[in-house]
Structure 1
Amino acid sequence: MARAVGDLLADFDAELEHELELEKSWNVAPTDAVPIVLERLVDDGLKRQLHVARWGLVPSWAKDPSGGARLINARSETLLEKPSFRKAAVARRCAVPADGYYEWKKGEGKSKQPYYVHPDDGGGLVFAGLYEWWRDQSKGNDDPGRWLLSMSILTADTPTAQSSDSVFDELTALHDRVPLPMSTETMEAWLDPREDDAAGLVDLVRAGAHDAAAGWTLDAVGAAVGNVRNNSPELIQPVEGLF
């Protein structure tokens, strides 16, 4: 995620509630800060806002935020069955912008090849997400750090190929799951806080995943991405793949 705040505001027609800083990253790891886009009803009007959230959802009832690192993803098929996610699915849905994502393909033995999955037109991705606010009870009401905003990305089965859609054959060979992508149209419905049919919205986004991912491409990249201490544009440069 290497886009600037101003670019994200323009791309999503969003505004800021408070000033924020967003560092570019080519190797986002769980618990890192990432941008999210959400909509809120403010003074009877709908406001689309850009926020920065911690990757790894911390439910409001959690005793501490440490468990959030295990909740970086939410399976869309069982979303409403999970106490950690079901309330957020009804009332706190967000969009998660990204330039692309990494996935590892296993070869024979212990060999693995990382791939960078991204739109072939150089644009960005938008994943369906959930967000939650967690209150640190040890901090006073005047402490601005008493609230933690966190988020999780929905996942789904990799879309199946229709006719000669070769990218989906490649995605299936890479992994049987993908972060759930959204088109502009499905994002509009997903973000609207006035909609409370969470099951219907999940079905809508899942149904649109094939078209949303149709323009993706896969590039083999270097193994340096496997170390979170490495973070530079070189990580997404294509290399000759092992297999």
Structure 2
Amino acid sequence: MDDETRLAQPEVTMTSSGTSHGTSPGAVRPGGRTARVREAVRAATLAELAEKGFDGLTVEGVALRSGVHKTTVYRRWGSVEGLAADALDLASGEPWPVPDTGGAEGDLRELARLVVTGFTDPETGPVSAAFISAAVRNPPTARALHAFFAARHEQSAVIVERAVARGEMPAGTDAAEVVRTCVAPLYYRLFITGEPVGEAVADRAAAAALAAARAGVFVSG
């Protein structure tokens, strides 16, 4: 069996009952040649999304840009939906620069600004927007995006944990709800109304989330 065919064979995991389940697209082995192929395909997928959007994403384009034979890409990722989902899957496991300014006000403000930068930056913005657009129309990408945001909420929870420890928020505050409230107005402007977003908008959203958290709005019942 040659390398191309070997890399194309999807590995499976076995449950205690012996039933096999396929892993996520592209996730065959955690290291070695397979990891390099997966990363090359992910980088090519992001580059294609940045240039052409989700509607312009093709397996052929990713194969050409990554240098991975299109047969391998088809067999391991299946479709453009699989490529997008796997790129999000990889991103969800990567560390995020969660702010640590010494106070909840600064942390939430910087968190909101990170979101704005992610969508307005000339390089990262088109990719982020492409994922959102794809998730609206494509269930596999939507599931991957939901998992991505769940990972981000988990990573950002430390902002609220620190705030509670400092006495800036009441005990029992739901960290995920604070984060959602902080960034939700930004997504509303970006993808619903099309209104401009900037640091002033980000700061206002962060201030609103902080005020609600301090008032105990997000304390779990």
More strand by share: 1
Query: TM-score w.r.t. structure 2 length?
Result: 0.29
Query: TM-score w.r.t. structure 1 length?
Result: 0.27
More helix by share: 2
- Which has the higher relative contact order, 1 or 2, with Cα contacts under 8 A spaced 6 or more apart? 1
